[in-house]
Amino acid sequence: MGRIVVISTGGTIASRWQGAGFAADAHGREVMATAAVPEGVSVEIVDLFSVNSPRLTTHHQLTLLHTVHEVLADPGVDGIVVTHGTDTLEESAFLVDLHHDDPRPVVFTGAQLPLDAADGDGPGNLHDALLTAATTRGLGVLVAFDGKVHAARGTLKTQTLAADAFADPSGARIGNIGFGRVSVLRQPQRPAALALPAVPGAAPRVDMVMHHADADPLLLNAAVDAGAQGLVLVATGAGNATPEFVEAVASATARGVLVALTTRVQAGPVTEIYTHGGAVDLVAAGAVPTGTLRAGQARVAVLSALLATTDPRERGRVLRHALGEAVTTDDRPAAELVQA
């Protein structure tokens, strides 16, 4: 069915017992040896790194992004599978998806149980990811997990330990895997791909701050003072905080900081309904609402905008594009920053 390249990055699927807990240890060839390969699929392995995914940095993720593009530069490759830790899989997959302009799939997968577990889920997930990479086209970056296929955009880790670990709380999955085939249920909506960013010596700082009862903007202001070029405000409800946060957001955006507004609620869009510190006022102060994207992926969208350009106005336009909005200024789309 095709030639698939597996990029191994570590995570639970590559983890072994370390005396006090599990940690990524195995190389890609060892991980691949646990899984049945679908008939007609040939596999090549790239050992990129082997770390627990909470330890991933922007440099790791940009290295992965560039590796994906380098692999797909070979027209003989039919698809890519990325084995990845589940904790930050949603962030890495979305970053790759924002810059993916190729009908060939990139399929992320991983495991909730370690490499040597007798009842481990890694082998089945890896088989399903290979099958998905070999048989689907034009769906963007995907997550194959527990017999289900999800679009990278909007998909989160929703269970800490259960095998059915991923879902889009605000939308339906892309498909199902079973009986040796992938059944595609819907086509994901994706904006045009952003241009591939360079790997900077030092990545721009992007911080997240959560609102809660009794919260004040101390941490938000501290992030700005620490040099944050981007911020994600994780608000309550449909995107609400307090008048004090509104003032802090206005001050941050006046200094050129790119601020995205999401919510700590699991599902549903950020919506401008309330004033007195609500989303109405936060958006008026310069925060960009993120729709149904939650904190981790909102941060990736901000990061991609910061990497695309140094112009504050352009950064706002790129962020809105990454969020899926149709953004134009002077009848000119952000064409220079988007793949043709």
- Give the active site residues: 12
Q: Is 238 helix (H, G, I), strand (E, B) or coil?
A: coil
Q: Is beta strand 181-184 parallel, antiparallel or unpaired with respect to 175-178?
A: antiparallel
Q: Is the dihedral of CA 81, 82, 84, 88 positive or negative?
A: negative
The DSSP 8-state label assigned to residue 236 in this structure reads B
Q: Is 319 buried (19+), middle (13-18) or exposed (0-12) by CB count in 10 A?
A: buried
Convert 242-273 to b/e letters by CB count within 10 Å (16 or more is b).
beebbebbbbbbeeebbbbbbbebeeeebbbe
Q: Are the C-beta atoms of 243 and 276 separated by less than 8 Å?
A: yes
Using CA atoms, how far apart are residues 55 and 51, in angstroms rounded to an integer?
7
Q: Are the C-beta atoms of 215 and 242 separated by less than 8 Å?
A: yes
Angle of helix 89-98 relative to helix 58-72, nearest 10 degrees, comes to 50
For 319, the enclosing helix (H) or strand (E) is helix 312-322
